[in-house]
Amino acid sequence: MATGIKDKVAILGMGCSKFGERWDAGSQELMAEAFEEALADAGIERKQIDAAWLGSCMDAVNIGNSAIPASTALRLNGIPFSRVENMCATGTEALRGAAYAVASGAVDIAMAIGAEKLKDTGYGGLPPPFKGTFNDMWMPMASAPAGFAQLADGYRAKYGISKEDLKRAIAHVSWKSHQNGVHSPKAHFQKAVSMETIMNAPMISDPLGLFDCSGVSDGSACAIVTTPEIARALGKKELVTVKSLQLSISSGQETAMNAWDGSYVPNTRNAAARAYKEAGISNPREQISLTEVHDCFSITELVTMEDLFLSEDGQAVRDYLDGVYDASGRIPCQIDGGLKCFGHPIGASGLRMAYEIYTQLLGRAGARQLKAPSLGLTHNLGGVPYLGIAGISILGLL
Amino acid sequence: MSDFGITGYGAYVPRLRIERGIIAEAHKWMAPGLKGQAKGSRAFCSWDEDAITMAVEAARDALTGGTVAGVKAVYLASTTMPYADLQNAAIVAGAISAPEGIASSDIGHSQRAGTSGLLQALKAGEEALFIASDAPVGKPASTQEISYGAGAAAFTLGSQGVIARLVGKASVTETFVDHFRATGQKYEYVWEERWVRDEGYAKLAPAAIKAALADAGIGIEGVTHFAMPSMLRAVAEAVAKSVKFGGNIVSGLENGVGYAGAAHAALQLALALETAKPGEKILVLGFGQGADALIFEVSEAIAALPRRRGVSGAVADALATDSYMRMLSFAEGIELEWGMRAERSGKTQLTEQNRSAFQLEAFNAGQCAACETIQFPQFQFCVKCQAPRKQFRQVPLADQPARVLTSTADWLSYYPAPPLYCGFVQFDNGARLLMEMVDVGPKGIERGEALRMVYRIKERDRVRGYNRYFWKTTPVAAG
């Protein structure tokens, strides 16, 4: 009987590039930035890395297929190096590959690196998606915000919430992240924004305005993992270990059957239930210190709090307006600014979230440091709420 | 008398309308004279409508209460077929689930295609679906732009339940060049109206009428309804007067439709059939390099014909629009800056299109024999119980009632008619999918709103000149 990977994998070092409109850097430079920091933090040489995983998502504007662009950029010669892609869960997927390699005993030290260069498109927002030769035949050519905006209708209908109340609650989601971004030196956006500005921003996809959408940024993040034993042997005293790493992917039930009411994301619930079980968490509301969740759009974050069982169903609007997820709240969310302000270079995002949790757990977060966190959760949502990928990691002090 | 004829009719007019005053206002700086033609409204195709999509909608209306199962041939008449070498009628046949063994053909190249094609189909004498569909495009600021429109009419032909029999016919052919449009040209070239009226309509139409009356063995007094399409105003009335017709001159559909090219005579015939009584005769004319005259006698069976949208219903189903630039852009009369997102490749994989035709062409969901779940799209295994697809029963969704489950208006995606409305469509039979929502009025679209399915262009590949079609949805109530 499988027992999961709880505490079998320790983080030896992490790195994260400055996120933003990095006109100065391509994916190669961004990766080098994150890699050098992670290597220094781990206190090892690159030749000690036994295997590596690269997460990179968009083909249209990036480094191209395979892990070769990464092995070349980082000069990691001759080791097993794989490129993985699972939409917005790509970074978490890379971490999963590295963690599983260590947990299985196949290697001693593994690396996960995620990178995305989005600002080579020539325009704002993500490139239009290619959904596959068959799906492109029938699926609407809608943008990512249009996919996530569907949640608003479903959520409002289920809980009888007015358009105005929901708009205010999701505006609070973004407001809170902008407040946090101010203290996040590597974040893309480090400026507070008023509720009024958020509420009155131009509409992107009803009800999501400009400030309900995350930043489109360039960036890279990197994790080097090993076993707790090796980490200690290498001189690490305070260890952050992986408590759980779970993915859940839709088989199309939400879109093709009528059980789903459009108010929640079944994949997040599946992945969360499994992640809590793997980590031995019985009461997430009490046990989770902080979260970095997939706030690609404000409505996503709001619904995610219920899907992670941190808010009661139908109560996320109230919880947000009550400040439960603010920096000073019970379970701070996006203390580094989240996708909204730190930025969302797709392949890097899962690892960026892990970087913040790791940083917070080790007490290195400077002006945004939370008081004695012990367990942090990362959450990615790839694809769209009704046909997607949820990736969750829980990291904690050993 | 032959026991073969028209057994049903249907029509479609694009929902989008524009007051002619708006068109005239846009051109006032250089063509102030257009103001004199600025009466009423005209229909225009949305960016995703063309002769094929309108034909499908008219055919569906014609098949109200009936079935396509017995149809042996599909004819499509138009002067604005999207394809020069790719049979347009075959695409229509696929969309309406026509039986595999049918014949199909395109008829075009003249404003007379609508009547000539109908005559051919009637002469052939086998069960058929005849559709005339056209959206003639006038050059900006031309008389044609302001007076033209768009629409389609369809007729089922057969021996069972004949509502109108052809009792007289005649054709006159003469290379009278009132206007022309060379292959590959976007706009037509038009000669002086007065000459077209006096030497064209006024001479060719009466000759055809006279011959058709002789063929039917009746005098003009035996005709109740006179349907004559014309690009020019008041010509039908003048010709009717010249042949001493004293009955009902069928509306030229100037208001709400506009001159619909090769489909116009068919629309007028369908309109006449809406109110014609058994025993009455309808004279239908077609004009273009000569003239066709067809005389139909309405039979008792018309009383039993199931109610349909028809021309009146289609004209009433209007969505008023307020921008000349929108119409111009939809007609590809102006190149707007759509941004880099519009550079996305619209290429269609023809191999994939062929593989998935069984479900995409006629919008078929699959019903699992094991658990009865109706699902779209149909993947290899049932979404609920994982039973293999080979046992799915095909369930067409095109005519199934459905409602909005969720929706949004997307301003970010490249879309030729922003915003792109899309959302989950919940069918009463249990099927559900994310769909594009079109012809949404200024009020937007709300959860629970009733929807109907429409056949549209899913993707225009402007680089290769290929349109990919699929089904979309639209509010049942316009506006």
Sheet holding B41-43, edge to edge: B41-43, B16-19, B319-321
Residue pair A116/A345 in contact by the 8 Å Cβ criterion: yes
Tell whether A229 and A297 lie within a shared domain. no
Tell me, yes or no, whether A167 lies in a domain. yes
- pLDDT higher than 60, residue B423: yes
Mean of pLDDT values over A113-133: 90
Q: Residue B433: phi, psi to the nearest 5?
A: -160, 165
**DSSP 8-class letter at B278:** T
**Torsion sign, CA atoms A129, A130, A132, A138:** positive
What gap in Å lies between CA A362 and CA A372, rounded to an integer? Answer: 9
Q: Residue A385: phi, psi to the nearest 5?
A: -60, -30
Put simply, the answer to whether A140 touches B340 (Cβ < 8 Å) is: no
Mean pLDDT of chain A: 96
Q: Which amino acid is at A384?
A: V
Query: How far is residue A66 CA from its own chain's centroid?
Result: 22
Q: Decide if A151 touches B, using CB distance below 8 A.
A: yes
Residue pair A55/A94 in contact by the 8 Å Cβ criterion: yes
Which tens digits make up the pLDDT trace of B22-77?
999 999 999 999 999 999 999 999 999 999 999 999 999 999 999 999 999 999 99
**DSSP 8-class letter at A119:** T
The minimal CB distance from B406 to the residues A123, A125, A262 is found for A262
| Set of chain B residues whose Cβ sits within 8 Å of the Cβ of A266 | none
Which one, of A63, A156, A155, A173, lies nearest residue A117 by Cα?
Answer: A63
**Closest approach of B348 to chain A, Cα-based (Å):** 8
Q: Decide if A59 touches B, using CB distance below 8 A.
A: no
Please give the torsion angle defined by the CA atoms of residues B208, B213, B216 and B221, in that order, rounded to the nearest 10 degrees.
Answer: 150
Q: Are strands A10-16 and B225-227 parallel, antiparallel or unpaired?
A: unpaired
**Closest approach of B40 to chain A, Cα-based (Å):** 34
- pLDDT higher than 90, residue B97: yes
Tell whether A185 and A233 lie within a shared domain. no
The minimal CB distance from B410 to the residues A123, A152, A205 is found for A205
Catalytic residue among A88, A213, A222, A296: A88
The A residues from 203 to 232 touching B (CB cutoff 8 Å) are: 203-208
Q: Are strands B128-134 and B151-158 parallel, antiparallel or unpaired?
A: antiparallel
Tell me, yes or no, whether A130 lies in a domain. no
Tell whether A106 and A199 lie within a shared domain. no
**Closest approach of B436 to chain A, Cα-based (Å):** 5
CA angle (A381, A387, A390) in 5-degree steps: 25
DSSP output for B426-440: EETTS-EEEEEE-S-
Put simply, the answer to whether B424 touches A386 (Cβ < 8 Å) is: yes
What gap in Å lies between CA A326 and CA A315, rounded to an integer? Answer: 16
- pLDDT higher than 70, residue B2: no
Tell me, yes or no, whether A2 lies in a domain. no
Put simply, the answer to whether A138 touches B352 (Cβ < 8 Å) is: no
Tell whether A195 and A333 lie within a shared domain. yes
The A residues from 373 to 392 touching B (CB cutoff 8 Å) are: 386
Which tens digits make up the pLDDT trace of B255-281?
999 999 999 999 999 999 999 999 999
Tell me, yes or no, whether A4 lies in a domain. no
Which one, of A131, A87, A252, lies nearest residue B352 by Cα?
Answer: A131
Q: Residue B96: phi, psi to the nearest 5?
A: -95, 15
**Closest approach of B265 to chain A, Cα-based (Å):** 35
| Set of chain A residues whose Cβ sits within 8 Å of the Cβ of B408 | 142, 145-146, 149-150, 152-153, 205-208
- pLDDT higher than 50, residue B1: no
Tell whether A346 and A232 lie within a shared domain. no
Tell whether A204 and A109 lie within a shared domain. no
- The CATH number for A350's domain is 3.40.47.10
Query: How far is residue A84 CA from its own chain's centroid?
Result: 15
**Sorting pLDDT into bands at 50, 70 and 90, what band is A61?**
confident
| Set of chain A residues whose Cβ sits within 8 Å of the Cβ of B95 | none
What is residue A289's predicted lDDT score, i.e. its pLDDT? 98
**Sorting pLDDT into bands at 50, 70 and 90, what band is A127?**
confident
Which one, of B201, B203, B207, B257, lies nearest residue B230 by Cα?
Answer: B201
What is residue B164's predicted lDDT score, i.e. its pLDDT? 98
What gap in Å lies between CA B226 and CA B229, rounded to an integer? Answer: 10
**Sorting pLDDT into bands at 50, 70 and 90, what band is A218?**
very high
- pLDDT higher than 60, residue B239: yes
Which tens digits make up the pLDDT trace of B329-350?
999 999 999 999 999 889 999 9
Tell me, yes or no, whether A134 lies in a domain. no
- Tell which phi-psi region holds residue A351, choosing left (phi > 0), alpha (psi between -120 and 50) or beta: alpha
Put simply, the answer to whether A141 touches B415 (Cβ < 8 Å) is: yes
Number of domains in chain A: 2
DSSP output for B103-170: EEEEE-SSTTHHHHHHHHHHHH-S-EEEEEEE---PPTTSHHHHHB--EEEEEEEESSS-SEEEEEEE
The B residues from 397 to 416 touching A (CB cutoff 8 Å) are: 405-415
Tell me, yes or no, whether A371 lies in a domain. yes
Domain covering B5-330, topology: Peroxisomal Thiolase; Chain A, domain 1 (3.40.47)
What is residue B478's predicted lDDT score, i.e. its pLDDT? 74
The minimal CB distance from A150 to the residues B339, B406, B470 is found for B406
Catalytic residue among A178, A188, A294, A344: A344
Q: How are the residues of chain B apportioned to helix, strand and coil, as percentages rounded to the nearest 5? A: 30, 30, 45
Name beta bridge partners: B466. Answer: B461
Q: Decide if B384 touches A, using CB distance below 8 A.
A: yes
Mean of pLDDT values over B155-162: 97
What is residue A60's predicted lDDT score, i.e. its pLDDT? 67
Put simply, the answer to whether B423 touches A141 (Cβ < 8 Å) is: no
Residue A344 a catalytic site member = yes
Rg (CA), chain A: 19
- pLDDT higher than 80, residue B477: yes
Tokens (6 digits) for B70: 């017995």
Which site among B383, B397, B408, B434 would you substitute to test the A interface, given the most A Cβ atoms closer than 10 Å to its Cβ? Answer: B408
Tell whether A24 and A37 lie within a shared domain. yes
Tell whether A179 and A226 lie within a shared domain. no
Residue A376 lies in domain: 144-212+241-397
Tell whether A230 and A304 lie within a shared domain. no
Q: Decide if A262 touches B, using CB distance below 8 A.
A: yes
Put simply, the answer to whether A150 touches B348 (Cβ < 8 Å) is: no
Put simply, the answer to whether B413 touches A252 (Cβ < 8 Å) is: no
Burial class (CB in 10 A: 0-12, 13-18, 19+), A371: exposed
Distances (CA, A) of B4 to A73, B121, B220, B445: 77, 11, 24, 45
Put simply, the answer to whether A262 touches B405 (Cβ < 8 Å) is: yes
What is residue A186's predicted lDDT score, i.e. its pLDDT? 98
The helices-and-strands tally (H runs, E runs) of chain B is: 13, 24
Q: Decide if B380 touches A, using CB distance below 8 A.
A: no
What is the residue extent of each domain of chain B? 5-330, 363-475
Tell whether A17 and A95 lie within a shared domain. yes
Q: Decide if A259 touches B, using CB distance below 8 A.
A: no
DSSP output for A232-244: HHTT--S-EEEEE
Put simply, the answer to whether A150 touches B379 (Cβ < 8 Å) is: no
- pLDDT higher than 80, residue A107: yes
Which tens digits make up the pLDDT trace of B273-332?
999 999 999 999 999 999 999 999 999 999 999 999 999 999 999 999 999 999 999 999
Tell whether A310 and A337 lie within a shared domain. yes
A-B C-beta contacts closer than 8 Å = 133
Q: Decide if A251 touches B, using CB distance below 8 A.
A: yes
Tell whether A234 and A179 lie within a shared domain. no
Give per-residue burial for B55-94: e unless 16+ CB within 10 Å, then b.
bbbbbbbbbbebebeebbbbbbbbbbbbbeeeebbbbbbb
What is residue A129's predicted lDDT score, i.e. its pLDDT? 78
- Residue B188: strand, helix, or coil: coil
- The proportion of chain B whose per-residue pLDDT surpasses 70, expressed as a percent, equals 99
